[in-house]
Amino acid sequence: MAERCAVVGLGQTKYDRCLRVTMDGLVREAALKALDDAGLTFADIDAIVLGKAPDALEGVMMPELSLCDALNAVGKPIHRVHTAGSVGASTAISAVTLIESGMYNTVLTVAYEKQSDGDFMWALSGGKSGGQGAGGSFAPWIRNYIARSGAPEHIGWKVAVKDRLNALKNPLAHLHMEDINLESVKESPMLWEPLTFYEACPSSDGAAAMVMTNKAGVKRSSSKAPPAWVIAHAKRTELAVYPGRDPVKPLAGVDCAKELYKKAGITDPRKQIDCAELYVPFSWFEPMWLETHLICEEGDGWKMVDEGATEIGGDFPVCMSGGVLSSNPIGASGMVRCLEAANQVRGTAGDYQVDGAKVAMGQAYGGASNYFAMWIVSSDPDPTFN
Amino acid sequence: MSEFPISFTLEYPYERTLGPVIGPFFTALRDGRVLGINCGNRVICPPVEYDPDTGATLEPDFVEVGPAGTVENWTWIAEPTSKHPFQEPFAFAQIKLDGADTAITHAVKAAGPDAISTGMRVKIQFCDERVGAITDVYFVPEADAQEQTITPGEKEVRKTIHKISLVYKEKLYPSRARYVQGLLDGKFIGQRSPKTGKVSIPGKGYDSIGRVTLSEADDVELSATGTAVSYTVITPIQYQGQTKTEPYISAMIFLDGSDQPLIAQEVHGIPADEFRAGIRLRAKFKAAGERNIDDICNSWMFCSTGDVIERWEPTGEPDVPFEDFPEFI
C-alpha cells in the first residue's frame, strides 16, 4: 500500500420518502455536502465511485451514466460497484483502493437509493407473486440463532428500541419514533415471525457521499474537522446456498472480520474498537453480527445487548446514528455505516457522538447474508493497539 | 427429455420524482406551453438541472420556446412496436424549437419518409388527454398543424409513471430440467457430489465446494419425507403482482438424505401454534395433471419447488431433537 487514505468530507441527505428532487438531485445533494465539508469543489475530484443496489429497484439501468452531469463526472473516470445490500460499504472500499494505490489524489464516492421510484418487494420477487421480502428470508435463520444461543425474546425488541432512540439524536434519520418502547415493539404487527413490524427497517430514499484523499490532499483540504484515516478494510463473499452452509454465522462474515482485524493490528476488537455501525435491518442481526464478527464469544451477542453494552455510553456502542433500523436507503445504507464510523472518529457526530471515539468500525452485509464489506477508521493514521 | 423453454413477462409501473426543473417543464407541457431553461447565453430544451459544460446547478429560470421548430435530423420508423407513440409508421426527429439552442427528440407524424426532411418546419400538437408527460405532445409538418385551444390543468406535476414490460425467454439448464421433470413426476431429484458425498437439491450441475462437474449419473432421488429445521410465519405485503393475502408458514426443510434445505416451503393445514422446528413432514404431491412448474427458472439463488406439492403433512414420527439437526444448525 503506497498511500494511507483519509476521509475528509462527509455528506448525507435527509432520509425519507423524497418528492423534492430527482434521483440526480438526490446524489448531487449528498456530493455537494461532502465537498463542502471537505472545503473542496468538483474541480478537485479526480475520479468518482458510485454504488447502488440492483438497478431493478428503480428501473434505471446503468445509472452511473445518466448521473454523470449531476456528479460533474463528464470527462472523468467513474466506477460503478454492485454487491447487493452491502454495496455502500463495497463502494467506499473501492474508492479507498483508488487512493491507496496512488492512482488518484482525491476521489468522490457516492451511494444512493430512491426506493419511492419503484418497489423493493416487487423487484426482489422478480415481479412474481409470493415474494417473502428480505424479512421472510432472514426470519428462519433468526429463529435458528435464538434456538442456538438461548436468547430471550426481548433481545430483538431491545435492539429496535435502542436504535430508534439513537435516531432521535440524528436529524437526518428517517424514523423519529418518540414514544417507542419494548411494549410497543412487541405489540406491533407480526410480519415475519419472530420479527414484528417495529423490528424491521423502513424503505427510505437518500444518498450518502464521502471525499477521500491522500496525505498531501489532507493538507489541501480546508475541512474544519480532522480526517478519519482508513486503517483497514476487507470484503468477503460466499455462495448463498451450498451443502453445509451456516447462514446464521456465515463463514464469509467470520473470515472478513479476521482479515480486517489482522490488517488493522487489532487483537481484541471489543476493547480496541470504540464503537461500530453494523448493518442491522432486522433487530436480531445486532447480536448475530457481534458474534459472527468475533466482537464477542459465540452465544454472548445477546448478552451484550441485554447488558446495555451496545448503547451509547456502553462499552461497545452500536448504530449510534440510529442504524438501518431507522433509515434504509438500501444502496446507501452500507456507505452510511462507513460514513458514520468516520463521523465518530472525527468527533463530528453531534448528539450521538461517543465520547473520545478514536477507532470505529463500519460494516455492511447483503444478499442472503453472503456478501460482507467492512472498514476500520481512526483519528490516528498509524494507531498502535495493546 | 424436455428442455422446458420458459417465458416470463415482467411488468411494473415505476415512478419518477421530477424535481424543480423537469416538474415545471411537464406541468407547462400539460398546460399547452413548452419551456426551455436559460444556461449561460443558451436556452436548453428540454430543460436540464445542471449545466452540461460546467456541471453548475441551473436556477429554474425558464423561457417559453416553440411551438414550431426546425428538423435537424430524423429517422423513419417503418414498423412501430406496441411501445411506440404511433401504431402507423412515423419519424423520430431532433427538433430545434424556435427560441431554443438545443434540439428535443420527439415523434413526427408525417405521411411517409418523403414527407420529412432536414430543415423542414414542424409544429407541436397537444393530445386531448394530457397527464404531464413527454407523451402529451407530438409534432406534425407545420402546414398540417391544427389550431388548438388548451385548457390548463390544476395541480403542479410532481411525478411521472413509466410502465415497463419485458418478456424473458430461456431454456432450463440440463440439471435444472431433470429436477423439474422429477417434480412433474412427483419425485425430488437432487445430485450427490462424488468428491464430497454431499447431496444438494436442486443440483447445479457442479459441486461448488468440491469443484467438480456433476452429470446425470450423479442424480439421486430423495425421499419425500424430511425435517423442518426452521420456519417463519409470513404476513404477505401487498405489491404489484402479489396474490397472497393471508398469513402462512414458510419453512426450511431438509429432505432425508439431503445436505441442503428446501427453502420457503409453504405449509398449510397445520396451525401456526402447533408448528415447530424439528417436526417430521412428508410432501404429498398434487395429482399428475395438476402439477405446475411455470414459476421455476434458472435462478441459482433460491429455486422453488413450483406448484407441485398439495401439502406438507406430519408423518407422526417423533420430532428430531435440536442436537440432531443437520450440521450447520
- Residues from chain A that touch B44, judged by Cβ atoms under 8 A, are none
Structure-model confidence comparison of residues A132 and B236, the more confident one? B236
A114 in any annotated domain: yes
Q: How far is CA A328 from CA A9, A87, A324, B43, in A?
A: 21, 13, 5, 39
Contact A129 B244 (CB under 8 A): yes
DSSP B110: -
Average pLDDT over residues B47-55: 92
Question: From CA A102, how far away is CA A4, in angstroms rounded?
Answer: 9
- Residue identified by cell 406448484 is B307
The answer to whether the CB of A208 falls within 8 A of the CB of A335 is yes
Q: How far is CA A368 from CA A237, A242, A247, B18, B208, in A?
A: 10, 12, 8, 34, 17
Name the residue facing A244 among B164, B233, B328 (closest C-beta).
B328
Q: Is the pLDDT of residue B328 over 70?
A: no
A375 in any annotated domain: no
Name the residue facing A244 among B16, B162, B259 (closest C-beta).
B259
Average pLDDT over residues B246-269: 92
Q: How far is CA A68 from CA A18, A27, A49, A226, A383, in A?
A: 21, 10, 11, 29, 37
- H and E: helices and strands count for chain A: 14, 11
A23 touches chain B (CB under 8 A): yes
**Residue of A56, A40, A51, A39 whose CA lies nearest to A78:** A51
Question: Parallel, antiparallel, or unpaired: how do β-strands B90-97 and B68-77 relate?
Answer: antiparallel
Residue B95 belongs to what H/E stretch?
A: strand B90-97
- Residues from chain B that touch A69, judged by Cβ atoms under 8 A, are 48-50, 52, 55
A130 touches chain B (CB under 8 A): yes
Q: Is the pLDDT of residue B75 over 70?
A: yes
B15 touches chain A (CB under 8 A): yes
The answer to whether the CB of B166 falls within 8 A of the CB of B199 is no
Q: Is the pLDDT of residue B3 over 90?
A: no
Grid coordinates given for B288 = 399428475
Task: Tell me which residue range forms the domain holding A42.
Answer: 5-120+207-220
Q: Which residues in chain A belong to E strands, given as ranges? A: 5-12, 47-51, 78-81, 106-114, 190-192, 195-196, 205-213, 228-237, 275-277, 359-366, 371-378
The secondary structure of A124-140, three-state, reads HCCCCCCCCHHHHHHHH
Q: How confident is the model at residue B298 (pLDDT cuts 50, 70, 90)?
A: confident
**Domain of A65: which CATH number?**
3.40.47.10
DSSP B136: G
Question: From CA A144, how far away is CA B204, in angstroms rounded?
Answer: 26
Q: Is the pLDDT of residue A125 over 80?
A: no
Cα-to-chain-centroid distance, residue B246 = 24
- Residues from chain B that touch A21, judged by Cβ atoms under 8 A, are 17, 19-20
A44 in any annotated domain: yes
A54 touches chain B (CB under 8 A): no
Helical segments of chain B, H only: 19-30, 174-184
Kindly state the percentage of chain B with pLDDT values over 90. 77
The answer to whether the CB of A95 falls within 8 A of the CB of A109 is yes
Q: Which residues in A25-175 belong to E strands, given as ranges? A: 47-51, 78-81, 106-114
**Residue of A362, A367, A372 whose CA lies nearest to A84:** A367
A44 touches chain B (CB under 8 A): no
Question: Parallel, antiparallel, or unpaired: how do β-strands B159-171 and B262-267 relate?
Answer: unpaired
The answer to whether the CB of B306 falls within 8 A of the CB of B177 is no
Question: Considering only alpha carbons, which residue of chain A is nearest residue B272?
Answer: A193
pLDDT at position A386 is 78
A33 touches chain B (CB under 8 A): no
Q: Would you call A217 exposed, middle or buried from its count of C-beta atoms within 10 A (0-12, 13-18, 19+)?
A: buried
Q: How far is CA B169 from CA A55, B158, B172, B292, in A?
A: 20, 36, 10, 18
Average pLDDT over residues A6-13: 98
The answer to whether the CB of B238 falls within 8 A of the CB of B178 is no
Given phi > 0 = left and psi -120 to 50 = alpha, else beta, which region is A335? alpha
Average pLDDT over residues A257-276: 98
Question: Parallel, antiparallel, or unpaired: how do β-strands B34-39 and B42-44 relate?
Answer: antiparallel
Give pLDDT tens digits for B150-203. Answer: 999 999 999 999 888 888 888 999 999 999 999 999 999 999 999 999 999 999
- Residue A164 in 3-state DSSP? helix
Q: Is the pLDDT of residue A131 over 80?
A: no
- Residue identified by cell 417507542 is A180
Interface confidence, given as ipTM, is: 0.85
Grid coordinates given for A248 = 446464521
- Residues from chain A that touch B235, judged by Cβ atoms under 8 A, are 189-192
The answer to whether the CB of A217 falls within 8 A of the CB of A8 is yes
The residue extents of the domains of chain B are 19-157, 176-324
Helical segments of A208-250, H only: 215-220
The one-letter code for the residue type at B101 is: D
Lowest-pLDDT range, A135-139, A195-199, B29-33? A135-139
Kindly state the percentage of chain A with pLDDT values over 90. 86
- Residue identified by cell 414527407 is B115
The answer to whether the CB of B272 falls within 8 A of the CB of A253 is no
Paired strand residues for B68: B123
Question: From CA A129, how far away is CA B295, in angstroms rounded?
Answer: 10
The one-letter code for the residue type at A57 is: L
Q: B194: cis peptide before it, omega within 30°?
A: no
A54 in any annotated domain: yes
Angle at A196 between CA A54 and CA B327, to 5 degrees: 75
Paired strand residues for B96: B70, B103
Grid coordinates given for B324 = 440432531
Q: Is the pLDDT of residue A1 over 70?
A: no
- Residue B75 in 3-state DSSP? strand
Q: How confident is the model at residue A130 (pLDDT cuts 50, 70, 90)?
A: low
Lowest-pLDDT range, B36-50, B143-157, B290-304? B290-304
A80 in any annotated domain: yes
Question: Considering only alpha carbons, which residue of chain A is nearest residue B17?
Answer: A22
Number of domains in chain A: 1
The count of other CB atoms within 10 Å of the CB of residue B317 is: 12
**Residue of A195, A166, A170 whose CA lies nearest to A180:** A166
Residue from A144, A145, A188, A205 whose CB has the most chain B CBs within 10 Å, to mutate = A144
Average pLDDT over residues A164-169: 98
Average pLDDT over residues B258-274: 91
Positive or negative torsion for Cα A200, A180, A351, A12: positive
Q: How confident is the model at residue B237 (pLDDT cuts 50, 70, 90)?
A: confident
Q: Is the pLDDT of residue A335 over 60?
A: yes
Average pLDDT over residues B200-228: 94
Grid coordinates given for B104 = 428535443
Give pLDDT tens digits for A75-113. Answer: 999 999 998 889 999 999 999 999 999 999 999 999 999
Q: How far is CA A358 from CA A8, A269, A276, A343, A354, in A?
A: 15, 13, 11, 10, 9
pLDDT at position A127 is 67
Shortest distance between the Cα of B133 and any Cα of chain A, in A, equals 15
